[in-house]
Structure 1
Amino acid sequence: MPTPTDTAEFLEELNGGAFASQIGHALSEVAAGVVDHGKAGKLTITLDFSQIGESSQVKIKHKLDYKVPTKRGTRSENTSLDTPMHVGVGGKLSLFPEKHDQLFSREQAPVIPRN
């Protein structure tokens, strides 16, 4: 059975690590607002996938939307960007295509010197 996508690695690859950093910042802001004001907060992560042409790549639109409770209501923020990724065996996602073994041996595809 193929190895599934490594979730932590996947999040770090979205937008070169900036998305994971934004999630961390939002988590802290929402948690602090909940504790400071005794009201509920919310953080939503949305991932939309679409195929790039007819390739084995997908464009992942990653959106972060959060609401921080304040003294008199809420403060909200959202961000949305795209990251292209390769889809490997079993659907494993990566920034880079999987390495494959050499297609032909030297005997099967000999290099004939030019005269």
Structure 2
Amino acid sequence: MKPTDPGEFIASLNAGVLANQMGKALSDVAANVIEHSKKGKVVLTLDLSQIGDSHQVKVAHKLEFTTPTKRGSKREDLATETPFFVTEKGLQLFADNPTGQLFNKQDAPVTTRD
């Protein structure tokens, strides 16, 4: 199996919304680290599980971040899931030919009506 492209993978999570949320979180946390001279934290957690007996996995992703404030910190987390196909090209949002196995002539022949 070819390695999954991490940039493309993260851009695919939650239809690109997670990448935007991560960018905003990184910028906000970094800005507050500078402003308050305290540590901040951004964590992305990925949990993968198989979907039934298919060649698909469910990727549960959780973005957690802690932003320093003047008198403490504030914490937020965002969680959702995205299904992926496991292919020879790595994890892909869509299969190359997702309907290729449907209506195969050998498996489901169609006869004409007389």
Task: Sort the TM-score into its range (normalised by shorter chain).
Answer: 0.7 to 0.9
Gaps in structure 1 of 5+ consecutive residues = 104-108
Residue type of the alignment partner of 2:91 = L
User: Stretches of 4+ moved more than 6 A in 1?
Assistant: none
Question: 1:75-106, CA deviations, whole angstroms, 9 ceiling, x for partnerless residues?
Answer: 1110000001100127x101111349x89xxx
Question: 1:28-87, CA deviations, whole angstroms, 9 ceiling, x for partnerless residues?
Answer: 011011000000000110000110000000011000000000000001110000001100
Post-superposition offset of 1:3: 2.6
Separation of aligned partners in 2, 1:79 and 1:64 = 5
Gaps in structure 2 of 5+ consecutive residues = none
Separation of aligned partners in 2, 1:68 and 1:83 = 26
Post-superposition offset of 1:4: 1.1
The correspondence of residues 26-41 of structure 1 with structure 2, limited to 5 A, is 26-41=25-40
Residue type of the alignment partner of 1:98 = D
Separation of aligned partners in 1, 2:66 and 2:93 = 30
Residue type of the alignment partner of 1:76 = R
Other-structure match for 1:93:
91
Other-structure match for 1:54:
53
Other-structure match for 1:106:
none
The correspondence of residues 59-74 of structure 1 with structure 2, limited to 5 A, is 59-74=58-73
SS of alignment partner, residue 4 of structure 1:
coil
Tell me how many residue pairs correspond in the alignment. 106
Q: Does 1:4 align with 2:15?
A: no
CA RMSD of aligned residues (A): 2.2
Separation of aligned partners in 1, 2:97 and 2:16 = 23
Residue type of the alignment partner of 2:94 = F
